Structure 1
């Protein structure tokens, strides 16, 4: 049986290992509020501004990047946290909700994991993950490469980044609370384990086994068991992906507001929620037509109204399902692989909107072309990084030593303290590549290629 007292554990790993904070900057904030602030000010968070959400290397500032996506997921998660803490405090968190300070802590922890959930994603979004997986699979000795890399995933890289790579002044990463680290895990299992809890992926690299076991022990969780708030974070990610990506698809000019409405109205799974959202959006569109607006302005403002209505419906639906199922979640009787949105009244709306995004946005020829270019950059860069890591101390290979010297000192320091095995080399290549923004990747790739040609 899970307990909120342990799930909201505000201990930090550094403290668990006998070290205490000496700078004294936490006055006036709870530890979960501090976690959000640490993530907000971290360098990898800023790098998300130059990483793809849906549309690679986008020049239109109004189209989302991975950073604006993360801010929106964080906002949605915090909103649900506020409702849970103020409207359902006793039902969800029990009689000790005041002692647990849920009104401050729940919105803060959800805002933190929403902001952090994509930090480990490589350049070019999910296509970047696929390119990295393919590069490892294409190597001559791929049968000796760990599943950590053959099935590389940004979620596991996020956990590694926060707990190990993003150094402050020691080996504890950002030294977040164990409660926040546990809530961050969308996929609570270690690569190679058979106990995935019904979820589709593994979420922790083998290299972070000791860390995650410590987090689980402190929070009362175990492999295959999600922190309850991870369900909320996942739902908010689904909401953002479905609704907001549709808005960007229209913003890009790949489809119109009317295309979306027609698509939703013709979906086989159309239900009352879809009808209500479409009706509300079309009603506002009819009102806007009376104004002196251009077709682009009409499209944009009509999509904004769709977004507002759809998100409102989905946030309420996700909150309701969470409250209704909290006892099953806490007791461990929730069905394997359970998701809030899929079990809500907005299930068909979310599914249909994602289908629209895929057909009109993700599969547009311009997007596919840029993704292919990104994939080529990634694979080529990984080849150069691998040679650099393999020959980092060999004076006979000046180019490789130059490339190796460009890898983050933090990442190299962690690698140098390892056994320098094939696993460790693969991991350094992934650390270096995942830490790059898209413009930096292209810039360095161009630089490296010119140096190769010059020699």
Structure 2
């Protein structure tokens, strides 16, 4: 039996609409329509060969940005449904949250931040916003996907208010857009957007454990002393002492996801009662997030992240890949800046009447849209004489 709709859930029938007005869909709510537009977007398809820790060609078992986004969307939809929120909106924001990530995960993001520092900066959240508001070109009457106000708000503010970032040049596109179509950057986003943000935390903490063990960066039993996962893992060993190690890993991850979801739901309901939240507007005007982990769970997750940072994110094998990735993007960025006529025709055309900062932004957009595999191949085509096609 599904829970009653929460008083503070977003109502698709009361959506604030789209920047460019459109007739409503006959078969879908506005938020479901947003979800479908994201799924059909070119940037969404490219997530299949973008990764976070490992490069896409390193193995078929590791998560890509696409599989990660699907896992986040599944968790977000389940939690939103259980809390009586609009599951379509939570799922939509979850599916969109990584659209602006460049190739090679955090290494690629760090390198684009470095290259773009003199030209207005780079932020993957802003890049996601640029993808859905301008870079996707699929419709005759507007650029971008023309998503609803609630989805755009969630894309920009799912981690909290961002008004204090508007002086950062990297956020200039958001500031300009909100100046024309106010996204209320000084408030919290909807409860559904906050669910998507926490679903992201739940998914990546668990799949990083899973991928790290599969990659041989650490052994499952080394996690026994790590908070949260350690007691859960010990419980699996106790319940199934002769279980295959692969199934032990999967069962431990499954139980950890369940424990994190239960914690989010309990803390969210506690905060809603304590603050007497009765509407979606009440959620936006809170002095803290509504959807959150408990303080105890936050501390446990910090310890888990410390373990993963030491044993996985800074592992020499990962560092070596990060080094290669940074050099590939740096060399391509500099070449395109110095010789823009080697850009594909479509991208070269976007340089019309551009100054150096404008050129850098076009180059950045081109590189940020690449998959890991395409970036590697494009680099070879540009820098190796044995590749001429």
TM range (shorter): 0.7 to 0.9
* Deviation string, structure 1 residues 407-450 (Cα, Å, up to 9, x no partner): 3x8xx54x54xx62343222212111101111111111111124
* Deviation string, structure 1 residues 141-175 (Cα, Å, up to 9, x no partner): x3xx32xx1xx221110011001110122433011
Give the secondary-structure state (helix, strand or coil) at the position aligned to 1:286. coil
Tell me which of 280, 294, 299 is aligned to 1:348.
299
- Name the residue aligned to 1:249: 212
Asked if structure 1 preserves the Cα contact closer than 8 Å seen for 2:188 and 2:283, the reply is no
Tell me which of 443, 446, 453 is aligned to 2:377.
443
Quickly say closer, same or farther: Cα 1:420–1:451, change in 2 above 3 A. farther
Asked if structure 2 preserves the Cα contact closer than 8 Å seen for 1:246 and 1:353, the reply is no
CA RMSD of aligned residues (A): 3.0
- Name the residue aligned to 1:12: 18
So what's the TM-score if we normalise by structure 1? 0.74
Tell me which of 387, 391, 406 is aligned to 2:338.
387
Asked if structure 1 preserves the Cα contact closer than 8 Å seen for 2:134 and 2:144, the reply is yes
How do residues 293-308 of structure 1 correspond to structure 2 at under 5 angstroms? 298-308=244-254
Asked if structure 1 preserves the Cα contact closer than 8 Å seen for 2:32 and 2:88, the reply is yes
In the alignment, the residues of structure 2 paired with residue 192 and residue 447 of structure 1 have an alpha-carbon distance, to the nearest angstrom, of: 38
Give the secondary-structure state (helix, strand or coil) at the position aligned to 1:12. coil
Give the secondary-structure state (helix, strand or coil) at the position aligned to 2:206. helix
Tell me which of 382, 401, 415 is aligned to 2:341.
401
* Deviation string, structure 1 residues 347-399 (Cα, Å, up to 9, x no partner): 233223222222222122111101100000000011122124xxxxxxxxxxx
Residue 322 (1) aligns with residue 268 (2): yes
Give the secondary-structure state (helix, strand or coil) at the position aligned to 1:52. coil
Tell me which of 309, 329, 333 is aligned to 1:378.
329
- Name the residue aligned to 2:366: 432
* Deviation string, structure 1 residues 89-123 (Cα, Å, up to 9, x no partner): xxxxxxxxxxxxx5xxx111111111110110001
- Name the residue aligned to 1:395: none
Tell me which of 256, 263, 266 is aligned to 1:310.
256
Quickly say closer, same or farther: Cα 1:60–1:12, change in 2 above 3 A. same
Residue 108 (1) aligns with residue 88 (2): yes
Return the index of the structure with the highest Cα Rg: 1
Residue 364 (1) aligns with residue 364 (2): no
- Name the residue aligned to 1:229: 192
Asked if structure 1 preserves the Cα contact closer than 8 Å seen for 2:43 and 2:99, the reply is yes
Give the secondary-structure state (helix, strand or coil) at the position aligned to 2:63. coil
How do residues 406-417 of structure 1 correspond to structure 2 at under 5 angstroms? 407=347, 412-413=349-350, 416=352
Quickly say closer, same or farther: Cα 1:114–1:248, change in 2 above 3 A. same
How do residues 118-267 of structure 1 correspond to structure 2 at under 5 angstroms? 118-137=98-117, 142=118, 145-146=119-120, 149=121, 152-168=122-138, 169-185=140-156, 186=158, 188-189=161-162, 193=166, 205-216=171-182, 221-223=184-186, 225-261=188-224, 263-264=225-226
In the alignment, the residues of structure 2 paired with residue 117 and residue 330 of structure 1 have an alpha-carbon distance, to the nearest angstrom, of: 20
**How far off its partner does 1:324 sit?**
2.5
Where in structure 2 are there 5+ consecutive unaligned residues?
1-7
In the alignment, the residues of structure 2 paired with residue 84 and residue 247 of structure 1 have an alpha-carbon distance, to the nearest angstrom, of: 28
In the alignment, the residues of structure 2 paired with residue 339 and residue 257 of structure 1 have an alpha-carbon distance, to the nearest angstrom, of: 34
In the alignment, the residues of structure 2 paired with residue 374 and residue 226 of structure 1 have an alpha-carbon distance, to the nearest angstrom, of: 34
Give the secondary-structure state (helix, strand or coil) at the position aligned to 1:28. coil
State how many pairs are aligned. Answer: 371
Where in structure 1 are there 5+ consecutive unaligned residues?
86-101, 195-201, 265-269, 289-297, 389-399
Asked if structure 2 preserves the Cα contact closer than 8 Å seen for 1:191 and 1:205, the reply is no
In the alignment, the residues of structure 2 paired with residue 314 and residue 453 of structure 1 have an alpha-carbon distance, to the nearest angstrom, of: 49
Asked if structure 1 preserves the Cα contact closer than 8 Å seen for 2:126 and 2:174, the reply is no
In the alignment, the residues of structure 2 paired with residue 321 and residue 450 of structure 1 have an alpha-carbon distance, to the nearest angstrom, of: 55
Give the secondary-structure state (helix, strand or coil) at the position aligned to 2:130. helix
Quickly say closer, same or farther: Cα 1:75–1:8, change in 2 above 3 A. farther
- Name the residue aligned to 2:4: none
In the alignment, the residues of structure 2 paired with residue 421 and residue 432 of structure 1 have an alpha-carbon distance, to the nearest angstrom, of: 17
